Amino acid sequence: MRSKNDEDDGFNDFLQQIIDMDHLEGAALGITKLVIEKGEDALSEKQKYVFQKQVLDEFTTSGCSRCGSDIPWSEMYDAATEHGMCNYCWHMTQKDD
Ligand SMILES: [Zn+2]
């Protein structure tokens, strides 16, 4: 089962990757650091709104554009910023034959 607050599902690594790639600044950066540290439940309603609009809406995609599967958090960054597909489909499209 996927849960955003499960420490082992890659969600925090995904957030850290967005920070490391210098995508965030100001309030969005501070809020994302807070989520990594304490989880999404620690945010105020206003912070949750910013996190949703400026982080999740920007850097996640609802599903693979090729097969429609959920994208795991470990693959989300590349899917959302690069090719829009799960790793499997992306590799499939990279093959020439
Ligand atoms: Zn796919």
The string of pLDDT tens digits covering residues 36-87 is 999 999 999 999 999 999 999 999 999 999 999 999 999 999 999 999 999 9
Whether residues 17 and 35 fall in one domain: yes
54 CA distance to ligand 1 centroid (A)? 25
Whether residues 6 and 46 fall in one domain: yes
pLDDT for 31: 98
Residues ≥6 apart with Cβ < 8 Å to 42: 34, 35
90 CA distance to ligand 1 centroid (A)? 7
Indicate the number of domains in the chain. 2
7-21: burial string, b at 16+ Cβ within 10 Å, e else? eebbbbbbbebbbee
Whether residues 41 and 72 fall in one domain: no
30 CA distance to ligand 1 centroid (A)? 32
Instruction: Please state, in angstroms and rounded to a whole number, the distance separating the CA atoms of residues 79 and 62.
Output: 10
Cβ proximity of 58 and 15 under 8 Å: no
Instruction: Please state, in angstroms and rounded to a whole number, the distance separating the CA atoms of residues 15 and 86.
Output: 18
Look up the domain containing 66 and give its range. 62-97
Whether residues 8 and 51 fall in one domain: yes
